[in-house]
Structures are given as structure tokens and as C-alpha cells.
Amino acid sequence: MKHEIVDVIVDWINDHLEDGLNIEAVAAKSGYSKWHLQRAFKEQKGITLATFIRRRRLDRAARCLVSSSKSIMTISMDLGFSSQQCFQRVFKKHFQITPRDYRIQHSQYH
């Protein structure tokens, strides 16, 4: 049963990254308590639900930086980051490069 919950939630998260997801919204969608969902998610995926959501948002942001001409501010807001500064800090921590430099480096190859 836990695998089913997590698989459905992963698909739902991927479809709703632009909706400003948080653990409460995901738990409400799942029909399970935050505690139960987070425990089942960590058991199956080996990472916390919050970490999973953040990584998916950052991966989507990276793709948007390369494949669109949207501003960094727009991309950060579209994906539910509280500010462009927050987005830049989290992005740099994850990719070891700023969003601007990521766009410049990766756009050369497209």
C-alpha cells in the first residue's frame, strides 16, 4: 500500500510543481496525515518529501532556464519560491552555480 501512495503522490507532484506545493497540500491530496505520508515517502524514496519537492522544482527551474526566455524572477515565482533571492540561494546550493550562469553555460549547447 505504501508504494501505491508514494507513486501516485510523485506523479501528482510532477504535475503540480507550479502550484506552490507544500507538505500540507500533498498530504491533503493523498488523504493521509502529514506524518504518515512523510514516513512512507522516506521509507520508499530514501529522502524526505520536502527534499523531493525542492529537487523537482529545481530540476524544472533548470530546464526552464535553458529552454525558455522567461526571466529568472518569473521562473522562480512560477515554481513557488518565496523570492528571487531565495530561489538563487537554493539553486546555487543545489547546482553549485547561479541561475544566470547556468542559463549562459547550458544555452550554448542548445
pTM equals 0.85
Determine the pLDDT at residue 2: 65
Fold entry, domain 2-107: Arc Repressor Mutant, subunit A (1.10.10)
Gap between the Cα atoms of 48 and 99, Å rounded = 24
Determine the pLDDT at residue 108: 61
The three-point CA angle 8-14-16 to 5° equals 100
Type of residue at 52: F
In the predicted model, residues of the chain with pLDDT beneath 70 are 1-2, 108-110
